[in-house]
Amino acid sequence: MVVIFRRTKFSEELLSSLNERQKEAIEYLKGTEKITTREYANMFGISNRMARMDIKKMVDLKIFERKGRSDKTTYYVLNV
């Protein structure tokens, strides 16, 4: 039997810089393929602007990766 332990890309230091919504979104994306800004806003009952700010921080930290060709088709996936 072989056991392989994989280190997670998301260190405690990195996660401590995120708010609870952002941490929950990471967990959500571990179980699904993608999330849009609108889905993020609806999930947490926040404005689209606040959702964009949260997501932008995660993109800047290279946690999320932006996909899609235009603003209307943009979605985000975990950058693993």
Boundaries of domain holding 71:
12-78
Q: Exposed (0-12), middle (13-18) or buried (19+): which is 74, by Cβ within 10 Å? A: middle
What CATH number corresponds to the domain at position 21? 1.10.10.10
pTM here? 0.81
pLDDT at 7: 52
Q: Is residue 5 part of a domain?
A: no
pLDDT tens string 29-77: 989 989 999 999 999 999 999 999 999 999 999 999 999 888 778 999 9
pLDDT at 14: 82
CB 38 within 8 A of CB 50: no
Q: Domain count for the chain, please give it.
A: 1
- Cβ within 8 Å of residue 14, ≥6 positions away: 61, 63
Q: Is residue 58 part of a domain?
A: yes
